[in-house]
Amino acid sequence: MEYKYKLSALPKHSNQQVKIKEKAKKRRVVIRFSGRANDVEIREKEQESFK
């Protein structure tokens, strides 16, 4: 959920198997490929993303 929301503001759920946990902030990146990607291409994209 977005940082502007609080855990207490989430709607209550009816499924007891659903567990909501608070986790530390972490930066994530989404990489889009057209076609297939191999390990080398993935490593190159990772390096570009975290410069």
CB 31 within 8 A of CB 49: yes
20 within domain boundaries: no
Residues of the chain predicted below pLDDT 70: 51
> Are 10 and 20 spatial neighbours (Cβ–Cβ below 8 Å)?
yes
Q: What is the pTM of this model?
A: 0.39
Structural domain total, the chain: 1
Look at residue 40 and tell me if it is in a domain: yes
Let me know if 45 is exposed, middle or buried by CB neighbors in 10 A (0-12, 13-18, 19+). middle
Per-residue pLDDT, 51 = 67
What average pLDDT is seen over the chain? Answer: 82
Full residue range of the structural domain in which residue 35 is found:
26-51
In the chain, what is the straight-line distance between the N-terminal and C-terminal CA atoms, in Å? Answer: 26
